[in-house]
Structure 1
Amino acid sequence: MDFRFEDKQYVLEKKLNEIDETTITPKEIVEYKRHCNDATKVSCIIMATMTPKLQRFYEDYWPYKMNKEIMEKYHQRAHQERYDIVKSLITNKMNDAESVTTHLQRMQYYVDHLLKLNVNFDEELAIDIILHSLPSFYDQFIMTYHLNKEETTLSQL
């Protein structure tokens, strides 16, 4: 969600605390009311994008708490997904019955998926991992590749 265009992003980052009416200044009352109004608007927008089940769960949450919990939940899921893909990329070996094209496409899929998850590693590392996944009868190709020292992209490999 992007609330920056209306300057409402702060309600996702700043917790709305209860106020003590005996010690609060008029300026703080205005700020508190503005924050409440903005939080209500942002909350409605967020809720409108959720499934009914999630709406029922988060209906009494302010946007700050809602955002914090959702980010924690999906961050954990993304971490597990990243781990699974890295594991598949590193442990995947081409079998004898498989074509090189099919194997390289699967490895490219893993690399692309990691890039979508904001895992930053350079293309040379990806190429090295893919070359390592090839069976031993590709050793001559791998040696020739390293001896050429030409810049090669993953798609050119």
Structure 2
Amino acid sequence: MSTPGDASAPSSSTHHLGFSILSIVSKVTFDGTNYNDWMHNINMALRVEGKEYVLEEKLFEIDEATTTPEKLVSYKEHYDDVVKVACIIVATMSPELKRFYEDYWPYEKKNELVEKYHKRARQVKYEFVKALMDCNMKEGVFVCNHVEKMQRYAECLVSLNVNFDEELAIDMVLNSLPSSYDHFILAYHLKNIDTTLA
């Protein structure tokens, strides 16, 4: 089978595709620790160009001598998109990962990366969620220190693409306070205080 490196010189349409996608994804370079952010950018860029299917549909070789003209045209279009997307993906990787993945097709590349990096990120996300939910302030602890600790966990989750609504974050902090703060919590809700964790 041919590999992404076998592609001929890019056409003007290839240049346009590469330029428009790179303008979206170039801000995030995949280094092995930021899979979710990186793949989110890749998916957004491919969706804009109508090329997202390349990550979901495997390219199968065909016999050009026996296939129909319609299937041959479809195959060549798919092949061209695969080559373009493969180059874009590799271009947004760190040098070490580029050398390892440069000969992978996008479909195989995505499956490999999901297995290796997304599942790891999922486990890390679970651990931070658990740590945040287990945060219960003990009597005698400074509330500022407690809130800062919860903020650090929340910031780690945001870096893993978990978005926190400000009101939800405040509710989680209030729920973590000991019973001696019950009157404060009641007053907070009754007065409808407008505040943030920042």
TM-score (norm 1): 0.74
Opposite residue 155 of structure 1, the aligned amino acid is T
Q: CA deviation at 1:63?
A: 1.0
C-alpha contact (below 8 Å) 1:58/1:66 kept by paired residues: yes
C-alpha contact (below 8 Å) 1:93/1:135 kept by paired residues: yes
- Matches of 1:10 and 1:111 in 2, distance apart? 33
Secondary structure (helix, strand or coil) at the match of 1:53 reads helix
Stretch deviating more after TM superposition (127-136 or 43-52): 127-136
Q: CA deviation at 1:25?
A: 0.6
> Within the alignment, does 1:73 sit opposite 2:116 as a pair?
yes
- Matches of 1:52 and 1:6 in 2, distance apart? 26
Aligned to 2:106: 63
- Matches of 1:151 and 1:69 in 2, distance apart? 49
> Greater RCO between the two (CA within 8 Å, min separation 6)?
2
C-alpha contact (below 8 Å) 1:126/1:154 kept by paired residues: no
Opposite residue 93 of structure 2, the aligned amino acid is M
C-alpha contact (below 8 Å) 1:93/1:134 kept by paired residues: yes
RMSD: 3.1
Aligned to 2:125: 82
Aligned to 1:35: 78
Secondary structure (helix, strand or coil) at the match of 1:44 reads helix
Aligned to 1:135: 178
Stretch deviating more after TM superposition (37-46 or 99-108): 99-108
Q: Among residues 50, 53, 66, which one is paired with 2:96 in the alignment?
A: 53
- Matches of 2:172 and 2:101 in 1, distance apart? 43
C-alpha contact (below 8 Å) 2:54/2:82 kept by paired residues: yes
Q: CA deviation at 1:31?
A: 1.8
C-alpha contact (below 8 Å) 1:123/1:153 kept by paired residues: no
- Matches of 1:78 and 1:102 in 2, distance apart? 27
- Matches of 1:52 and 1:116 in 2, distance apart? 23
C-alpha contact (below 8 Å) 1:123/1:154 kept by paired residues: no
The structure whose Rg is larger is 1
Secondary structure (helix, strand or coil) at the match of 1:3 reads helix
Q: CA deviation at 1:49?
A: 1.6
Aligned to 1:25: 68
Task: Quote the sequence identity (%).
Answer: 53
TM-score (norm 2): 0.62
- Matches of 2:149 and 2:192 in 1, distance apart? 22
- The alignment covers a number of residue pairs equal to 155
